[in-house]
Amino acid sequence: MKGNRSWVPGAVEMDWIESLAPPLSEALAAIEAAAAPDNIPIVDRDSGRVLVALAAGRRRIVEVGTAYGYSTLWLALGQPPDGSIVTIDPDTTRTDRARAWWRQAGIADERIRVVSARALEAFAAREPALEGPFDLAFIDALKPEYSAYLEALVPRLAPGALVVADNVLWSGRVANPSVDDDNTLALRAFDAVVLADPRFSATILPVGDGLLVAGFRG
């Protein structure tokens, strides 16, 4: 066990890890290049590599929040070839562009289903594509709705499923008690509730903007 908390991985370690990683695909690089000037939030590349690993063997995935489909593509690349993803986002101008990048990466259209609606409304309407059971759920949408997404997802999870949520450290704001905007308060409460929830075995990975990973006990 590392006893010296004064050392944390820095730029040197991150660059070394990146040097060992497989080259970024053209489609992922294209999304990164488009997202920044368009002010479209996407997961950190390091978080994407975690999603690839977590998606291994997970055949049915649901994603709350698609945007340009960057995290969707990481998940699809990690899945078995017969895997499927249902991703939810009301903005078709974004998801149409995402579809083009998925095709560029060689992901067949039938593997990724887009539900073009607000997530909580789609869950409440019992959208058939969202009925599950899913063996991985990824949450990266409206921060004040994270807890509601989770409760909507729980009856749709298979035993042993993983729930992963992005932005749970919120660039350090969540751990700073002096910060009390709505997004930060919602994420702080979400983190505390999930880590104490007996339905899950959960932790937070200090990767990217913070990834919460929770295994569903069923």
Q: pLDDT tens across 98-110, in order?
A: 999 999 999 999 9
d(CA 47, CA 63) in angstroms, rounded, equals: 15
Q: Which domains are assigned to the chain?
A: 29-216 (3.40.50.150)
d(CA 164, CA 89) in angstroms, rounded, equals: 17
d(CA 74, CA 139) in angstroms, rounded, equals: 14
d(CA 32, CA 41) in angstroms, rounded, equals: 10
**Looking at residue 106, what is its pLDDT?**
97
d(CA 140, CA 165) in angstroms, rounded, equals: 6
**Looking at residue 2, what is its pLDDT?**
60
Residues contacting 108, CB < 8 A, separation 6+: none
- On the question of pLDDT at 5 being above 80, the answer is no
- Mean pLDDT across the stretch 131-138? 97
**Looking at residue 1, what is its pLDDT?**
56
DSSP 131: -
- Write out the H or E segment, with its range, that includes residue 96: helix 92-104
Q: Is the entire prediction scored with pTM above 0.75?
A: yes
- Write out the H or E segment, with its range, that includes residue 62: strand 60-64
Residue type, 190: F
